[in-house]
A = this chain, B = another copy of it.
Amino acid sequence: MKAKPTKSYLYEHVARIGKALSSPKRLELLELLAQGEKPVETLSAQADIDMRLASAHLKALREARLVETRRDGKYIHYRLSGPDVSQLWVTLRETAEEHLVELRVALEQMASEPDSLCSESRESLLQKAKQGDVIVIDVRPPAEYEAGHLPFARSMPLGELEKRLADLPADCAIVAYCRGPFCLMSDEAVKLLRANGFTAQKISDGVSEWAACGLPIETSKN
């Protein structure tokens, strides 16, 4: 006769996921991975931590089965182990924003371009983008754009934006987005665009938030 697992055994397993989500660095890595598969080196650079520390945190995430790995020569690429992980991150972040006032305050203080948030609904924005009434630009690194981006969005990495201003129509409203509400790249983009006479706004959504409410995501590579 097999010993039946106890009830607390079930909660212990769920707590494994909770533990994985209990470190700020790991959450930052998760959000970066939500932008697409990346090697450890890139992750440690983008999260601004030592590669050995990044490796340790990624090991913890892997043991909680939230991420998976793929070897490619010298590089080991990490990716989320499913779209539900990205959904979990969004739910967790939204719950934090809902209940922690300090977080909402901090978010406001960090915005260098207040009042730049596009007030439109996701659906109507999608419609306008389709009709060409607005230009939606993705200011993340090209690799992240290729891994998945909003429909009708053009890749316009923040680093190259200044050089490529001429590619944008001066008479059309521009809406920028980046990795999500915690990412400041779209904010920087709006600042730059406005300084050059463009009509620009941002949305706080990243691909995770967009996908979390059931809207489609496009990929460029096959």
Contact = CB atoms under 8 A, between A and B. Distances in A.
The copy count of this chain in the complex is 2
A70 to B, nearest CB: 17
A10 B65 contact: no
B66 A99 contact: yes
A10 to B, nearest CB: 5
B91 A10 contact: no
A69 to B, nearest CB: 14
Which DSSP category, helix, strand, loop or mixed, fits chain A's interface? helix
A93 to B, nearest CB: 6
Given A15-B24, A19-B22, A109 B10 contact: no
Contacts of A103: 10, 13-14
Contacts of A95: 17, 66, 84-85, 87-88
Interface string A22-35: 11110110000000
30 contacts: A4-B110, A5-B109, A5-B110, A7-B184, A8-B24, A8-B28, A10-B182, A11-B25, A11-B27, A13-B103, A14-B24, A14-B27, A14-B103, A15-B21, A15-B22, A15-B27, A17-B96, A17-B99, A18-B21, A21-B21, A64-B99, A66-B95, A66-B99, A82-B98, A82-B99, A84-B95, A85-B95, A85-B99, A88-B91, A88-B92
